[in-house]
Structure 1
């Protein structure tokens, strides 16, 4: 059974009421996106986390972006409640909030500088008997096209968004994103070890047409130890790095 909490250097994520637990690839997305945003000349002010789950990504961004107010939205009521508790217990409680809602019907009351999302991965694939896990892992409530529509509605004209997807699905998503005018700026391809194929991709998109910067990250070396690149990316977060 997964642990009921995951402790980081500056915050703790309780996760017993969320279908999706803390995972390495989501941590990579949070760290990679936070590093990219922190390196921009103009500080990020407003961030939206679509499908906040436990609040992991919002907490990682809050740690690295001191000027950012971050709003998480989560469809599942239990997960939204747990994210709110994780936010309240963090050092950045005043800059974090969560709302239990469906992004497809959320009023466009504000435009966000950045949207981050770890969306349902799988479209049209075999599902389990766990309804909440299916909702979190499979595009049963939010397909890629609907996600892009939501992003287009809530993202500022000069804003950017970060998405984590299976490596095999990223090309399709990238083509779909071009239709509403979103183009990849940075791409991070992730593999477990040198003997494994790529299995996840993080993409950072904006409305600027450009050739993306391509990065590669291997989590473990041939001796099953964290690689120096992984350690450098996650050392600000992981308790024992």
Structure 2
């Protein structure tokens, strides 16, 4: 662990402008070797985001404000943000209380995993070419919804769809309901507490999307400190990562309509999936992380 941040009184006295603070964030985040895995790929980008958030500056462009002087109270806030990010190794989104996915902001806190699903990219393309008419009144299920972000994005890209957002965690559903209200989706997105499909008897869906807990136990033990702030139940998938995926694959066909689609994200666990389901031939979808993160299956493929 690096030495602690420079003395607070000295830091607050010497760092006077937005530019000063962005540079200082970058230097300290590099010195602490913070892990970037919750939305940012570069330390500078995350440093700018944290400074903008602490100062309530527009997210779009910080450049007009770089040489603006920072008030003492604002410097206190900046130092607090930096302490949380470096010494506490808290992810940026838990510090700001906000995460961005496909250009939309969602409320987050340690009750939910930080949104970063590659399914969001597939939804942005309206599941092309498997969906021909996005204006149809689809029935959509977002299983293991967490913050509700995928359910809300699905409702945005399919404007006549109704969406059930399901999670086992009552705490996560509290956040999901806040996000549903934030995006004015209360008439089309319904948050439901359920252990996977248990509370959905009799329902059928045209599209099921799910980003379930899938991290295998060996990988869980090697996670960087930032991930330890997230709820374990949202990450851990058992010894081989397949604990919930096996249940989903067994039960999903009964909840899919005749032409229904299942879209499931499993991160880096494809080798374990192939071992668990050697007779299945899912369609692997292209994402920004490659073509082994997310797959699609038709109801008739099971």
Distance apart, 1:61 and its partner CA: 1.0
Query: Once the two structures are superposed, what CA deviation does each residue of 1:38-66 show, in whole Å capped at 9, x if it has no partner?
Result: 53478252000100000111111111101
User: Given the alignment, which residue of 173, 190, 193 partners 2:273?
Assistant: 173
Query: Once the two structures are superposed, what CA deviation does each residue of 1:3-49 show, in whole Å capped at 9, x if it has no partner?
Result: 21125687531011433102263533443564456534782520001
Separation of aligned partners in 1, 2:155 and 2:130: 11
CA RMSD of aligned residues (A): 3.2
Instruction: Tell me which residue corresponds to 1:161.
Output: 262
1:101 aligns with 2:194: yes
Separation of aligned partners in 2, 1:171 and 1:30: 25
Greater C-alpha Rg: 2
Choose between structure 1 and 2: higher helix proportion. 2
1:1-241 aligned within 5 A: 1-3=91-93, 4-7=97-100, 11-23=104-116, 25-32=118-125, 34-36=127-129, 38-40=131-133, 43-127=136-220, 133-140=231-238, 142-167=243-268, 169-170=269-270, 172-173=272-273, 176=276, 183-185=281-283, 187-191=285-289, 198=290, 201-208=293-300
Q: Which moved more, 1:156-165 or 1:49-58?
A: 156-165
Instruction: Tell me which residue corresponds to 1:220.
Output: none
Structure 2, unpaired ranges of 5+: 1-90
Distance apart, 1:110 and its partner CA: 0.9
Separation of aligned partners in 2, 1:183 and 1:18: 35
Secondary structure of the 2:151 match is helix
Choose between structure 1 and 2: higher strand proportion. 1
Secondary structure of the 1:120 match is coil
Structure 1, unpaired ranges of 5+: 192-197, 210-241
Distance apart, 1:108 and its partner CA: 1.9
Query: Once the two structures are superposed, what CA deviation does each residue of 1:177-213 show, in whole Å capped at 9, x if it has no partner?
Result: 576xx6534522543xxxxxx585221111345xxxx
Separation of aligned partners in 2, 1:33 and 1:132: 29
Separation of aligned partners in 2, 1:206 and 1:109: 19
> How many matched pairs?
200
